[in-house]
């Protein structure tokens, strides 16, 4: 016991020694949650004498499960016959289904399909049903249905808007297909597990009695279905210990429900809460800023981080004229740190919006700084940016077959692989580039080769290219406006699941293009493309690598020297419909608490916004964190909900939001509950 408990502080020790009954370990950033969780598992097995087979520890990543298993076993002196079960929720679902899926009339030799297989199947079904909706949207909707335990008939009955009616039809056909072919998708691993437990009370009791002690990591990231599963798994004993931090709940956009942690005591009666507030990562000034900021949130359990390290440098604010000046200043500060012997792995730059990485990439490249981009791809490698560049290359050189093939069906023009294959074969026979071939062929010849509809689309594409070439010669500054009006790439990408990010990237590119023309009016399209190629294909400086990443990707990481860019209104926090200010603030809290010693928060006077340079205000979060006077900063509330969201009401059940309107200090939602339409205040429903 001495080995297990010796390195724990009093709060950690109290959590470890709690054995029976529901327990919430509210673990602040850097407070040793993994250490506490693994020590508790080791204590149960090595000191209390619980059979490892009667424990179940659930995580969100295989890496976390593996790390916890290794750390727990090192703390146990006695030899155990077999290791405890530590795995992700979905791995547990897989193991369960292998034993019990036959209760649903299905065979246990099922095959799991990945997200790409899922999209291919949905694409085939949508084509058969003549439904022309974005495949990513359909895949996302099917995932939402399953995680909300909505079966096809119910989804069809509840769907009112036309797109959701079509999505429900695809869902029905999709389910028929995967059942017929004995396939299981990622969401089925939890949904089917829940269904079996729900329909088989004897098995539910047997399973709960087998896993007498259940622990869950990152509980703030669980969704409604995972909560329901946990209730069944703990139904016979209520011995559930969850570890999480409501202040680090930043995945609402992918289904995580913060109410699970906020209302833990309501879900599991008799629950006690133990707070871990000693932070071993950051100095006092950093934690002061984090604590002060997060206190502005009303939906939280409340805790205050205390630094174990003590005093350190004050949080710095960096004010720049624009993003170019910002990137240059940061790059030079980093070069100074490196010259003083700082290891590059201890330096990172965070951003809220992926589009902001462009100026950093460009600035660091010019200063000769090597960098690695984590949790995303480099700006010029993103699909939507490569599409625009390919269009520009075709405008400069129509005979560039590689670029022409990329844009031929972007946005969708109904030009399939078979038609493209015929065109390529004909181009080979005539020894012509594709563009020249299409230009030479009459509409009648083209119709004979690929059909009337495809031929019409191809000729329309050629007319668009000719129009763009003409416009390009008139005014390059206004060119991207005309380009977007003609091609409509933003409308195409805006319909994807991650459409907001992609549109922001496109706007960033358009803004950068205009800015380049303002700085060099004589610049040609060809020169602009050459400059981009030099930036995007620049050889990486070897050796020293700084980390650039989004705040979402940074969760769980820590750095000695940290810069956070884009601390401006509309960039951080994001504003507008569907933006949740409390979640934005939690993102700010996560960003600040990644810093161990040096933290610099950066803001600029102007930045590209929706493709144009705009003067912007510094972020309200700087005032809320006590770093600047906040009298002039705007404090506004934003609805957590947007049109199309699925929500749950305790009386009316599951419904879909049709409209969001301000109502005093609240928001009023118009919701369709399976044909029963109601106007409900937002505080009386919850996201699912």
Buried b (16+ CB within 10 A) or exposed e, 643-677: eebbbbbeebebbbbbebeeeeeebbbebbbeeee
Residue linked to tokens 């992918």: 254
CA 570 to chain centre: 18
Cα–Cα dist 255/648, whole Å: 13
Judge residue 308's burial from the number of C-beta atoms within 10 Å of its C-beta, 0-12 exposed, 13-18 middle, 19 or more buried: middle
The residue written with tokens 């510094």 in the block is 618
> CA triplet 533, 534, 539: central angle to 5 degrees?
115
Contact 24, 270 (CB under 8 A): no
What residues act catalytically?
33-34, 217-218, 248, 594
Q: Is 400 exposed, middle or buried (0-12, 13-18, 19+ CB in 10 A)?
A: middle
For residues 600 and 316, the answer to whether their CB atoms sit within 8 Å is yes
213 φ/ψ angles, rounded to the nearest 5 degrees: -130, 115
Q: Which of 267, 203, 265 is nearest to 230 (CA)?
A: 267
Retrieve residue 541's tokens: 């400086």
Identify which of 298, 306, 214, 315 has the alpha carbon closest to the alpha carbon of residue 258.
298
What does the DSSP 8-state code read for residue 48?
Answer: I
Burial call 60-70: b when 16+ CB within 10 Å, e when fewer? beeebbeebbe
What φ, ψ does residue 652 adopt, rounded to 5°? Answer: -85, -10
Q: Which residues contact 328 (CB under 8 A, 6 or more apart)?
A: 363, 366, 367
Q: What is the CA radius of gyration of the chain?
A: 28
Question: Is the CB of residue 62 less than 8 Å from the CB of residue 31?
Answer: no
Give the count of alpha carbons within 13 A of 398, CB side only. 15
Q: How far is CA 345 from the centre of its chain?
A: 24
């Amino acid at each position: 016991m001495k080995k297990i408990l010796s390195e724990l502080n009093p709060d950690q020790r109290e959590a470890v020694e709690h054995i029976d009954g529901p327990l919430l370990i509210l673990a602040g950033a850097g407070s040793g949650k993994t250490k506490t969780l693994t020590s508790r598992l080791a204590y149960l097995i090595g000191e209390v004498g619980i059979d490892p087979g009667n424990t179940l520890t659930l995580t969100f990543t295989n890496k976390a499960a593996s790390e916890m298993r290794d750390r727990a076993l090192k703390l146990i002196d006695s030899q155990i016959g077999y290791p405890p079960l530590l795995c992700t929720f979905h791995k547990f679902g897989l193991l369960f289904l292998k034993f019990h899926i036959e209760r649903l009339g299905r065979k246990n030799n099922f095959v799991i399909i990945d997200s790409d297989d899922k999209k291919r199947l949905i694409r085939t079904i949508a084509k058969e049903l003549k439904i022309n909706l974005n495949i990513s949207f359909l895949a996302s909707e099917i995932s939402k249905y399953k995680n909300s335990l909505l079966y096809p008939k119910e989804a069809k009955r509840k769907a009112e808007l036309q797109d959701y009616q079509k999505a429900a039809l695809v869902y029905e056909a999709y389910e028929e297909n995967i059942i017929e072919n004995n396939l299981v998708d990622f969401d089925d691993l939890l949904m089917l597990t829940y269904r079996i437990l729900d329909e088989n009370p004897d098995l539910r009791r047997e399973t709960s009695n087998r896993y007498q002690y259940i622990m869950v990591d990152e509980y703030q990231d669980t969704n409604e279905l995972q909560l329901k599963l946990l209730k069944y798994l703990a139904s016979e004993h209520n011995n559930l210990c969850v570890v999480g931090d409501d202040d680090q709940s930043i995945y609402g956009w992918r289904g995580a429900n913060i109410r699970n942690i906020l209302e833990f005591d309501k879900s599991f009666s008799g629950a006690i809460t133990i707070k871990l507030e000693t932070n071993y990562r950051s100095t006092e000034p950093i934690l002061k800023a984090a604590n002060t900021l997060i206190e502005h949130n009303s939906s939280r359990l409340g805790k205050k981080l205390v630094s174990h390290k003590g005093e350190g440098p004050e949080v710095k604010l960096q004010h720049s004229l624009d993003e170019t000046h910002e990137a240059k200043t940061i790059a030079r500060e980093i070069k100074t740190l490196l010259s003083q012997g700082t290891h590059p792995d201890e330096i990172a730059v965070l951003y809220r919006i992926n589009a902001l990485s462009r100026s950093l990439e460009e600035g660091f490249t010019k200063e000769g700084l090597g960098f690695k981009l984590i949790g995303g791809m480099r700006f010029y490698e993103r699909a939507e940016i490569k599409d625009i560049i390919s269009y520009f290359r075709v405008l400069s050189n129509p005979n560039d077959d590689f670029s022409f093939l990329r844009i031929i069906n972007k946005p969708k023009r109904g030009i399939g692989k078979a038609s493209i294959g015929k065109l390529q074969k004909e181009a080979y026979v005539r020894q012509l580039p594709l563009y020249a071939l299409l230009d030479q062929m009459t509409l009648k010849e083209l119709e004979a080769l690929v059909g009337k509809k495809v031929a019409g689309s191809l000729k329309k594409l050629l007319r668009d290219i000719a129009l763009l070439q003409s416009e390009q010669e008139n005014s390059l500054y206004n060119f991207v406006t005309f380009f977007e009006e003609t091609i409509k790439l933003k409308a195409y990408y805006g319909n994807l699941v991650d459409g907001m990010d992609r549109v922001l990237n496109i706007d960033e590119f358009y803004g950068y293009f205009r800015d380049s023309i303002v700085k060099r009016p004589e610049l040609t399209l060809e020169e602009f493309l050459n400059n981009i190629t030099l930036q995007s294909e620049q050889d990486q400086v070897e050796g020293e690598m700084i980390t650039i990443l989004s705040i979402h990707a940074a969760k769980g990481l820590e750095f000695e020297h940290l810069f956070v860019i884009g601390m401006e209104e509309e960039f951080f926090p994001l504003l507008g419909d569907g933006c949740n200010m409390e979640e934005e603030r939690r993102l700010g809290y996560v960003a600040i608490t990644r810093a161990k010693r040096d933290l610099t928060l950066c803001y600029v006077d102007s930045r590209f916004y929706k493709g144009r340079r705009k003067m912007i205000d510094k972020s309200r979060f700087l005032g809320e964190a006590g770093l600047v006077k906040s009298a002039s900063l705007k404090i506004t509330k934003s609805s957590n909900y947007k049109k199309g969201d699925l929500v749950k009401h305790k009386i009316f059940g599951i419904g879909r939001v049709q409209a969001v309107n301000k109502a005093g200090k609240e928001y009023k939602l118009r919701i369709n509950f399976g044909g029963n339409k109601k106007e409900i205040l937002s505080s009386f429903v919850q996201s699912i």
